[in-house]
Structure 1
Amino acid sequence: MRKASLREVLGITALVSSCCLVYEMAIAASFISLTGDGVLWQSLTIALYLAALGAGTYAASRLRSAEPWALLFRIELALAFVGALAVPGILGLEGAYRFWFHFLRDLQAPPSVARYAAAVLLAHGWTLLIGFLSGFELPLLIRLCGDGQEEGGRFNLVLAANYAGALAGTLTFALLLFPWLGAAGSGTAAAALNLCVCLYLRWRGLVAPAGTRSAGLALAAALIALSAAVSRPVQRLQVLNVYASALGLTAESRDETLRRGRRPPAREAFARLRALDGAVERIRSRWQTIDLLSLTEEPFPLMARFNGRLKEAGYPSRLSLYLDKRYQFHGASEALYHEFMAHVPVQLFKRVPRDVLVLGGGDGLLIRELLKYGEVRRIVNVELDLKMIELARSHPGLRALNEGSYGDPRVEVLIDDAFSFVRGSRERFDAVYIDLPYPVNYDLTRLYSVEFYVNVGRLLRENGTATLDFPLVPRDDKKPRSAYAKNSVLFSTLKAAGFKTVLPFSTECSELIPWKEAEGYGVTPEDYDPKVAKLLRRVEAERFLREHPGYKPPKGDDFYVASNDALGVETMVTFSRERLGPDYRFKDRGLKLFSLTPERLFLLQFQRFPHETAPGLANSIFRPRLFEPEHLEDFAFM
């Protein structure tokens, strides 16, 4: 065996160091995609990896007698095996948990987040194993470059190469590997590089040829190829398991269990899951994962009363959008949300904007509503993700929903960060609509900060309004005062940003309809005597009228209190720098609306969202108060 040059040692050091960082970041990205809490799982992955790295370094110090090149060969070969399996193994374990949760667990037992946490933590065994093996590398490479009086200088060179490799691995993962290959593909690529190191050691004669080494190399190559082949199916099954409930499989399995008296066989459940492979269309962009679901269940007929578009032939009511596995909209309910957001501010303040700024809303649905006003001459849409805009323009389902809104010449699209845009823009608008994801991480929390809203206010013309959606908590006498903490933070933030008018409202709609009409929508009577059931309906109707004075019910004496709860309730806030008085009387502007009616606008004045305002409660980029990371239970019970 020949002696390696210093250049070879430094090159190998940089290469294996970059592989270590790719493994670490790929594993962290996998856990973040599974659990949502980036801060927690990035921190935990780094902590476990470094602890295992230290253990590996200590173990290497106890093997001083081992021939260093031979030991390095075995370590790199082991990393090629483990690295190829790590991310698919993590996704496979999580997918197996979800499959058990949706199809195999005892329905009588309450769901437990502890089991999900145990499965996720067990998957971190891959982190510990890779960290332990990687801990051997640097001590071995330092030993290989040591040479008498120059040992100190070469030691520093090895450390420098190690740090340079770590930097290269981090940048390569973030800029190339993850955007193009995803977490699983990135891990496979790193495993292939570890295998290349083994091949180099063998080719350059740094380790003695042996039959077992040749067999190990062949086996590792086959395993890497297998990992590359199965990564996509494993990820696909994991995605289907995530959306099993949304696709109706969980309810179907539950109903069949109740009918049979036992759970359906695992093979049968797996076949049903595979049969819906085409129901989830996943598109990965630079910024997020976009999932378009084609749901199997038809909306409940009563929902057509709250979304008249459900009666249209060919309307894609089953299409649903998720961004990073977080629900965005459902075709059956999106008209309710977007009509309220676009038209309620116009109705309350009786002023149609001419120049409009839309921050986010890359699906084109909010823009569709704003384009209904002939007075609107310009809409500037600032969207971070170009891929979302391209989908809204080209995807048949999205185009059917947004009615080709991006083809209107009044719409200008700017691909930019909303925070950067409002900070740097010098334009003025009559209205600003903020349709952005909820603040589940620090980057999104910036978009709900005092600093952000100050700049939004600066872009508004006199008597201009801004409108955003935010998960406010409505009044509920059974809830403690602490339940309204988020309300207080948002209202305090808007007040600190200089807004004098702040009006919250929601898409929650309850209204009285004749009982005969309710029956026509498929509402079944209670299991009481018909006279008793009618009496109970009358009691509920009278309570509704007491709580909403001035509401005019339809003609008749037998009413049903219809609600749109099944469509999901969204809450919004419209605000202005000036003091503006709302007018809850509906003004007919000749628009074709499917959800917002005069009665529903009138009922908005009775909605209440308890809150306090105080300067210390304001959300700031320097003191984020709205940042509430998602917890394990948010993902464990999907």
Structure 2
Amino acid sequence: MNPDKTVVQPRELWLLAATFFVAVAGLIYELIAATISSYLLGDSIRQFSFVIGVFLTSMGFGAWLSRFVSNALTGFVRAQIALGIIGGFCAPLLFMTYAFFGVVGLPLYSALILIGVLSGMEIPLIARVLKDLGATSFRFENVLTADYIGALAASLLFPLLIIPHLSLMAASLVFGCLNLMVAGISVWLFRNEFRIGTWIFLGTALLASFAALIASEKLVSVVDANLFEDDVILTERTQYQTITVTRFQDRTRLFLNHSIQFDTLDEYRYHEALVHPAMASATNRTNILILGGGDGMAAREVLRYDDVESVTLVDLDPRVTQLFRDNPQLSALNSNALNDPRVTVINQDAWQFASQDQGQYEMIILDLPDPKSLALSKLYSIEFYSILTERLSANGVIVTQAGSPLFAREAFWSIAATLENARNPIAPGQGLTIQPYHTYVPSFGQWGFIIARNTPLMKPVPQFPDNLQFMTSDVWNAAQVFSADTNEVDVDLNSIRDHRLIDYYEAGWNFWFR
């Protein structure tokens, strides 16, 4: 019996290992592309769907093209080198083109198609190389098994290790180096099949990729310097988002996933409008719940009231609350509110907290990001609002930021209608009483809010605290008046079954700004 037919040979074992590694790299490139597109283009569900569809279709085309590769081994190595270069530099390219030219779609899908085609060629070529080696002990199912296990490994690595510890640029370059190392080991094991030119080209690509990886933090700084108008004083990638803080002289801005959250030049307008009309009209302010607002600005405004005894602030990302609690420059912006003994910070998903918590609150303040995705849209749904009403005391008040009644008119009134129709535990079947209002915040434009409660709203003019910079009785009265182009329109309620709010939100902002 020929021992080569019964004993696993190093080259055969390596090709199965290579299948695993290239599967990991391929899926990581796909996830990076989808993540970047959702950051820069918005609507994560749509972007992930488009990226997956284009990538899988390209893989199918690549598998078909592999039949025209005359030398399977050479074709596999060249595909790995090309993937190492294109896949590795994909994220830097996308961020650079967006930062300098404002372009995302063309480079994104061009790179994605190339990566998909090259990835689709890998399995057929590896199977052919194994067949050429006479590796009868390795059936095609073994190759597919290694490929699927690699995909599982990538899907676990991306959220658990890569996103929390690497920037998207660095991650792209790391897995580009992985493809190049797969090519390098393959060339070494089959060194009689390759000429010196392959070694030189591969070595050059590896050196360039390693150099770019080492300089990836500088690349991130260059991109940030062009994405943001001011100096970037902090940028971090957490498990949940990218946090960026910029500063120009005494002006500080916070961006989450490149979307502005506040500007110290005018944030007082937003936070005073969000908090004080509801707080000043409440009959009891003992126990307050804030969902979102990890920067502590809403908590700062709540703590202006001496009768507040307890504030529970729930924000998903622990790094945001840590920064605005422990960083002296950032905690000063919220008057050290997150270190106040009356404030309890809980880092948890708002839906999970509301579903599990058994507390009762006189005030619930929703300082949440705009409903750009399913994960955020559900926090503006009738189901979520109905959960919150169970946490509300009999005379309690809910207030939420609701986007722009000008730029996203239908979205604003959908939130209003949804909140109005939420379950009322005090008067079943009647819904809630709401008060929509709006004001101008230069960083955002015309911005809207909605107050809701189980019982009819109090009409007397609320008494606001002294020393506010913006909110007065006159401002409050004017805020309740809507112009003809921002007034109420017929819209559907937002539910977790259909997420109509996302459509309204995207349509409105796209009409004005794209």
TM-score, L = length of structure 2: 0.88
2:456 maps to what in 1? 579
Equivalence map 1:320-469=2 (5 Å) = 320-349=253-282, 351-469=283-401
Q: Alpha carbons of 1:381 and 1:156: their partners in 2 closer, same or farther (altered >3 Å)?
A: same
CA–CA distance in 2 between the matches of 1:215 and 1:620?
58
What whole-Å deviation, never above 9, does each CA across 1:512-537 have from its counterpart, x for those lacking one?
xxxxxxxxxxxxxxxxxxxxxxxxxx
Equivalence for 2:40: 34
1:255 counterpart residue number: none
Q: Which secondary structure does the structure 2 equivalent of 1:158 belong to? A: helix
Aligned partner of 1:325: which letter? H
Which residue number corresponds to residue 13 of structure 1? 19
TM-score (normalised: structure 1): 0.72
The answer to whether the 8 Å contact 2:437/2:448 transfers is yes
- Opposite residue 225 of structure 1, the aligned amino acid is F
CA distance 1:43–1:360, shift in 2 (3 Å): same
Structure 1 partner of 2:225: 240
Q: Residue 495 of structure 1: which of 420, 425, 437 is its match?
A: 420
- 1:84 aligned onto 2:88: yes
3-state SS of 2:203 partner: helix
Query: 1:57 is matched with which residue?
Result: 63
1:290 and 2:243 aligned: yes
8 A Cα contact 1:201 1:207, kept in partner: no
Which deviations, in whole Å up to 9, do the C-alpha atoms of 1:59-92 show, x marking residues without a partner? 21123x42x3333222222322323322222222
**Alignment RMSD:** 3.1
SS at 2:89 equivalent? helix
Amino acid at match of 2:378: R
2:423 is equivalent to residue 485 of structure 1: no
Decide whether the 8 Å contact of 1:431 with 1:460 is kept in 2. Answer: yes
Distance 1:27 1:203, change over 3 A: same
Take 2:480 and 2:73, find their aligned partners in 1: how far apart are those partners?
A: 77
Partner of 1:216: 201
Q: Which amino acid aligns with 2:449?
A: M
Q: Distance in 2 between matches of 1:502 and 1:327?
A: 28
**Using the alignment, how far apart are the partners of 1:186 and 1:83 within structure 2?**
10
C-alpha distance in 2 between matches for 1:31 and 1:169: 19
Deviation at 1:604, TM superposition (A): 4.1
d(CA) in 1 for partners of 2:100 and 2:439?
37
For 2:77, give the aligned amino acid: F
Residue of 319, 343, 351 corresponding to 2:252: 319
Q: Separation in 2 of the partners of 1:447 and 1:567?
A: 21
Aligned AA for 2:450?
Answer: V
| TM-superposed deviation, 1:46 | 2.5
Q: Which residue of 1 aligns with 2:405?
A: 473
- Give the distance between the partners of 2:508 and 2:68, measured in 1 at CA: 40
Distance 1:54 1:35 in 2: 26
Q: Deviations over 1:18-72 (max 9, x none)?
A: 1111122222223333222323332332233223322322221123x42x33332
Residues 449 and 493 of structure 1 are in contact (CA less than 8 Å); yes or no, is this contact kept in structure 2? yes
- Determine whether 1:505 maps to 2:437: yes
Alignment of 1:141-220 (within 5 A): 141-146=126-131, 154-205=139-190, 207-208=192-193, 210-220=195-205
> What is the alpha-carbon distance in structure 2 between the residues aligned to residue 463 and residue 439 of structure 1?
28
Q: 1:495 to 1:637 in 2, by over 3 A?
A: closer
- Percent of aligned positions that are identical: 27
Unaligned runs of 5+ in 2: 424-430
- From the superposition, tell whether residues 635 and 82 of structure 1 become closer, same or farther in structure 2 (CA, over 3 Å): farther
Q: In 2 relative to 1, CA 34–234 (structure 1 residues): closer, same or farther, beyond 3 Å? A: farther
In structure 1, distance between residues paired with 2:386 and 2:142: 50
| Residue in 2 that maps onto 1:258 | none
The one-letter code of the counterpart of 2:140 is: F
**Alignment partner of 1:434: what SS?**
strand
Distance 1:635 1:605 in 2: 25
Q: Find the residue that maps to 2:66 and give its secondary structure.
A: helix
User: What does the per-residue CA deviation read over 1:94-122, in whole Å, with 9 as the maximum and x for residues that have no partner?
Assistant: 23314xxxxxxxxxxxxxxxxx4xx6314
Q: Which residue of 2 aligns with 1:45?
A: 51
Residue 599 (structure 1) aligned with residue 480 (structure 2): no
Greater relative contact order structure (CA < 8 Å, 6+ sep): 1
Counterpart-to-counterpart distance in 2, 1:440 and 1:567: 15
CA distance in 2, matches of 1:85, 1:566: 34
Q: In structure 1, how many angstroms separate the alpha carbons of the residues matched to 2:148 and 2:207? A: 31
Q: What amino acid sits opposite 1:16 in the alignment?
A: V
Deviations 1:349-406 (A, max 9, x none): 4x24101111111111111111121211111111101111111113344222211011
Structure 1 unaligned segments of length 5 or more: list them: 99-115, 248-277, 297-315, 509-563
Distance in 2 (alpha carbons) for counterparts of 1:603 and 1:212: 74
Match of 1:622 in 2: 497
In the TM superposition, what whole-angstrom CA distance separates every residue of 1:558-580 from its partner, at most 9, and x where no partner exists?
A: xxxxxx76884432111111223
Point out the structure with max Rg over C-alpha: 1
- Offset of residue 235 of structure 1: 3.1
Aligned to 1:24: 30
Q: Quick one: distance in 1 between partners of 2:444 and 2:142?
A: 63
Cα 1:463–1:352 shift into 2, 3 Å? closer
In structure 2, distance between residues paired with 1:40 and 1:631:
13
